Amino acid sequence: MDSVTKTKSPYSELFSLPGAKGFCLSAAIARLPVAMMGLGIVLALNHIYNNWTSAGLMSAVFTFSAAVVTPFYARLFDRFGQRKVGLVVLSVQAVAMLAFAFGAMHRISIGLLFILAVLMGLTQFAFGALVRTRWAWALAPQGARGEELLNTAYALESGVDECVFILGPILSAWLATSVNPVAQLFVPVAALLLGGLAFFSLRSTEPPAITEVSQEQLGQAGRVTNSPVDQGGVVKPGAHQGRYKAKSALSFPAVFLLFIIFIVFNMSFSAVDVTVTALTKQMGKEGIVGLQLSLIAVGSLCGALIFGSLKLKGSRWRYLLRYLILLTIGYVGFRLTMNNLVLLGMVELVTGLCVSPIYATGNLIVRGTVDSSSLTEGLSWLNTGSSIGTSLGSTLAGVALDAFGPPGAMMIPWIVTACSVPLALLGWAVSRKRDKKTNQL
């Protein structure tokens, strides 16, 4: 029996957990709008106004609005529970997305459409953070083995993200070019409702709500008498309400630094999306833009599967630094091969191998830094950083396209990713210094 257990795939172990298949699949479907809306807005707005700057700016406004509120929703999820908060926000989000889609379809004024884009963004929350919190909750009872499997779970979710981002742009581009220029704004609503409602219906895997207790309920030395978290910071299986107010995840230096890093390097992805969209249109091959953009996600999916099977040794910051350097080199290859879509696609596949490990490593750093009662918020700050970076990247790329064309815009990805490398190096240095002090105690 022991030999069978030892040879069992870590992915098989994950999906043997009760309810794991259900919440993983439903969350994947619910994340499809994230992969479709950014490019969908660009395609719809460029068709209506024939202006890349307006299209990129509106996509950025939507993404930035979502980024602003993501941590706020995350704290609500941690405080009151995923289902209780999620069903309300999900309903409002669907209405807001439909309002924007109908507004674009009827070609309302661009000013009003910008307002609807902001309102739509303000209803967005991070399903990725919710499902990663569920993995941490489900694996907590397994102790050390659970911590090992958490690496696999986070790599798996990064791979799921890439599957979503493979399908999303292809579906958006196909709907916009073959069905209707705004059809790609309606399909995400259906995916959101289907996946979201299924996810929130799975109550057996929902982490417990964490509520604030009064000072009178605190024990001596500030201890909580009915804390659902053990001394190791792991939520106890079967625990319920009753915890002191959690420390904000962003107050941890490591989380704050990761937040900045994720803003900077995520500017590259939206810049690539907008630039490749303009490049294929310029070449008269606009119909393959979705396929072209999905190639980096295919590589990232492969990278996630490989990374999830590894046993990490040493500082997670070292892995983050390594993959950011490789990603920068890959983006230089984008600029050199952009005039040949076949060569560009090959470089995208190879470069994509680095993408999922970056996200998985960042999530692992957060998981090892914050208290379990703030885990959803901590993970959401990375989503927020990604969203802010995405909005800035699409805006920069739109301006660069109108001013310099695709060659100038394709410079943005490698420049911004290179800027994130010194920040990761700083995080690694601080981490090593802290570890040395810990070992000396």
Assess if residue 4 is contained within a domain. Answer: no
Q: Which residues pair with 218 in a beta bridge?
A: 224
What pLDDT is recorded for position 4? 43
| Residue 405, Ramachandran bin (φ over 0: left; ψ between -120 and 50: alpha; else beta) | left
pLDDT in tens, 187-238: 999 999 999 999 999 988 888 876 443 344 334 333 333 333 333 333 444 4
pLDDT in tens, 24-48: 999 999 999 987 888 788 888 888 7
Assess if residue 233 is contained within a domain. Answer: no
- Residues of the chain with pLDDT below 70 are 1-7, 210-247, 372, 435-441
CB 100 within 8 A of CB 115: no
| Total-model pTM | 0.71
3-state secondary structure of 95: helix
123's tokens: 């209803």
Which residues touch 145 (CB under 8 Å, ≥6 apart)? Answer: none
What pLDDT is recorded for position 243? 42
Which residues touch 33 (CB under 8 Å, ≥6 apart)? Answer: 97, 188, 189, 191, 192
CATH number of the domain enclosing 36: 1.20.1250.20
Assess if residue 141 is contained within a domain. Answer: yes
Assess if residue 213 is contained within a domain. Answer: no
What pLDDT is recorded for position 6? 52
- Total domain count, the chain: 1
Nearest in space to 370 (alpha carbons), one of 189, 276, 248? 248
Assess if residue 422 is contained within a domain. Answer: yes
CB 134 within 8 A of CB 205: yes
What pLDDT is recorded for position 207? 86
What pLDDT is recorded for position 226? 37
Nearest in space to 207 (alpha carbons), one of 145, 131, 123? 131
What pLDDT is recorded for position 322? 93
Question: Cα–Cα distances in Å, from 20 out to 23, 85, 406?
Answer: 6, 21, 43
What is the distance of C-alpha 306 from the center of its chain?
19
Altogether, the residues listed in the chain come to a count of: 441
CB 23 within 8 A of CB 134: yes
What pLDDT is recorded for position 58? 87
CB 182 within 8 A of CB 44: yes
Q: Which domain holds residue 42?
A: 18-208+249-433
